[in-house]
A and B are shown apart, each in its own frame.
Chain A
Amino acid sequence: MTKKFKNKTLAWLDYRLPIFSVLREALVDHPTPRNLNYWWNFGSLAGITLVIMIVSGLLLSMHYVAHVDLAFDSVEHIMRDVNYGWLLRYIHSVGSSMFFLIVYIHISRGLYYGSYKSPREVLWWLGIIIFFLMIITAFLGYTLPWGQMSFWGATVITNLFSAIPLIGDNIVTWLWGGFSIDNPTLNRFYSLHFLIPFIIVGVVFLHIVALHKFGSNNPTGIDLTLKQEKIPFHPYYTVKDFFGYGVFFIIFGIFVFFLPNLLGHPENYIPADPFVTPEHIIPEWYFLPFYAILRAIPFKLLGVLAMLGSILILFVLPWLDTCKVRSCRFRPIYKQFYWIFIFNFIVLGWVGSKVPEGHYLIISRICTAYYFTHFLIILPILGMFEKTLPVPLNIFKNPKTKKN
């Protein structure tokens, strides 16, 4: 830790402002498990996406006008008149999809390898807080172009708060700053959409501090005690993360340049009209599973609570999962349920995009019930009864030879 810098000026400055040694400790020397697979790339990918979103968003904000009469046109102005405005906007809109995709994979990685278990519970919490802030930011940002989906999406989501007993309507009026969604709403949404990403940056910082306290989890899920089990972050994982960036940029580029509107909704190219509701309102794809949970329950307040609960339940996951073994590798039964859970979540997303009638409604109810069953019943019980495979003492040992 107290290695000195060779450069005298740097050593002088670092002695007084230890930012360089902290950075070197975090990005160069940090001992990292040598057996991390590519699923561990998604943390750094989420980081670079956050940077891309903030930079592209900052430049978009220089041309965007947050006013009900001008917002839609200013977006078209960005698309047609601003130099590379189309590129900035597509980077930002496709980027939000990529960000969620990456974070979903990042969370799934944590679920599979038990990265949420002791002593990483707070690290896990901070991750959920980031996810939650991302949801809010994405929702706020989607209202800004002031198209039909923006307007009606904002209407539906803000009306969720009207489910709160007694003061619900007052809260909605407060959120809107009026008696309907109008200019004051758009202005505050823009302001908050600008602010929250920087709060995310702050929480990401804490997320990394918490991560570096115990280091990354690894595919075996065991605590690494040997020195040989770890390698310095640089150059091994810097190079691996950069390679991940390269692959990601290719995929990102394909969407930005060839399929920029694939993940969006054509309805949002119609200016907002407070008198015409679109035939059916579909949120962005990354909200669909939670939207399906909301619609699956036929009571307003319960639906809202279930939707919120589906995210909040992740906070208590470290205690719901009672199994001491972290990684799925040594939990053959949990592994099956893990994949059922993932499949169930994807099905939820699929029914979320359909009109909630007939068998779609039934499927969404079954999947919603299963979502909560997984956390509240399957995980606690599995921890008690599942016979886990023998866990190796270190990452070099083959677990099957542990008997002697």
Chain B
Amino acid sequence: MINKNKIFKLKKDRRSFLRLTTTSMAAIGSAFAIWPFIDSMNPSADVLALGIKEFDLSNIEEGSSKTVKWRGKPVFIKHRTKQEINEARKVNLSELRDPQKDENRVVKPEWLIVVGICTHLGCIPLGQKKSDTKGDFNGWFCPCHGSHYDSSGRVRKGPAPKNLKVPKYKFVDKNKIKIG
């Protein structure tokens, strides 16, 4: 309940009413004036323009992957084999720290697209090159603090709290995706 006495007193006390309105106008005005200053530090138009990017998938062979740069971050594009897809789909959800079905992490099962940044403290996990270690679950292994990801990019072991993030993307045509 708003203090009735207070309102009553305000009506009586012209000076404190004026003070209140003036101060609040000044506060509101300052808030509006400060916004452009704060917003100038947000991503600028040229940065946002790079936020949506198209990538060609045609030269990524089955079983191999490619790292592309999107919004300054590495994105893993993995052309999965039948075996890798099966492995990812067979997993019992109750075993997972961040339970998510593989079906919900891909648009087409043979293409896994995830942001290649460990959800623990931001290192880039190994596993993109053929020679890299892929961790205990045939996906990725983060060398910084030892997190293991499976072939769906889900965390299976180590300190990472979440699965590798799936960016928003769609297929423009059969061999082309647009991320962002």
Contacts and interface: CB of A to CB of B under 8 A. Distances in A.
- Chain B interface helix/strand/loop/mixed: helix
Contacts of B40: 59, 62-63, 82-85, 88
Given A84-B36, A87-B36, A59 B41 contact: yes
Contacts of B46: 77, 81
B37 interface: yes
B45 interface: yes
Contacts of B26: 242
The 6 closest A-B pairs by CB, nearest first: A84-B36, A81-B45, A81-B44, A81-B46, A83-B39, A82-B44
Interface string A66-103: 00000000000100111111011000000000000000
A234 to B, nearest CB: 12
25 contacts: A55-B37, A56-B37, A59-B37, A62-B41, A63-B44, A77-B46, A80-B45, A81-B44, A81-B46, A81-B47, A82-B40, A82-B44, A82-B45, A83-B39, A83-B40, A83-B42, A83-B44, A83-B45, A84-B36, A84-B37, A84-B39, A84-B40, A85-B40, A88-B36, A242-B26
Contacts, number: 36
B45 to A, nearest CB: 4
Interface in B37-56: 37, 39-42, 44-47
Interface in A315-361: none
Contacts of B47: 81
B36 to A, nearest CB: 4
Nearest to A84: B36
Q: Describe A's contact surface by its main secondary structure.
A: helix
Contacts of B37: 55-56, 59, 84, 88
A77 B41 contact: no
A77 B40 CA distance: 12
B67 to A, nearest CB: 27
Interface of B: 26, 36-37, 39-42, 44-47
Nearest to B46: A81
B118 to A, nearest CB: 29
A59 B36 CA distance: 10
Nearest to A245: B26
Contacts of A87: 36
B20 to A, nearest CB: 14
A398 to B, nearest CB: 32
Contact of B36 (A62, A77, A81, A83): A83
B44 A77 contact: yes
B26 to A, nearest CB: 8
Given A81-B44, A88-B36, A88-B40, 14 more contacts: A56-B37, A59-B37, A59-B40, A59-B41, A63-B40, A77-B46, A81-B47, A82-B40, A82-B45, A83-B36, A83-B42, A84-B40, A85-B44, A87-B36
A346 B41 CA distance: 41
B40 to A, nearest CB: 5
Nearest to A56: B37
Interface string A196-213: 000000000000000000
A170 B41 CA distance: 42
A84 B41 CA distance: 10
A262 to B, nearest CB: 21
A252 to B, nearest CB: 11
Contacts of A242: 26
A120 B14 CA distance: 41
Contacts of A85: 40, 44
Contacts of A59: 37, 40-41
A87 to B, nearest CB: 5
A82 B43 CA distance: 8
B53 to A, nearest CB: 17
Contacts of A83: 36, 39-40, 42, 44-45
Contacts of A88: 36-37, 40
A288 B121 CA distance: 57
A154 B110 CA distance: 62
A88 B37 CA distance: 7
Most buried by A among B36, B39, B42: B36
Contacts of B44: 63, 77, 81-83, 85
B89 to A, nearest CB: 44
B37 to A, nearest CB: 6
Nearest to B37: A59
Contacts of B45: 80-83
A85 B39 CA distance: 9
Nearest to B48: A81
A83 B41 CA distance: 8
Contacts of A56: 37
Nearest to A239: B22
Contacts of A82: 40, 44-45
B46 to A, nearest CB: 4
A202 to B, nearest CB: 24
A32 B36 CA distance: 36
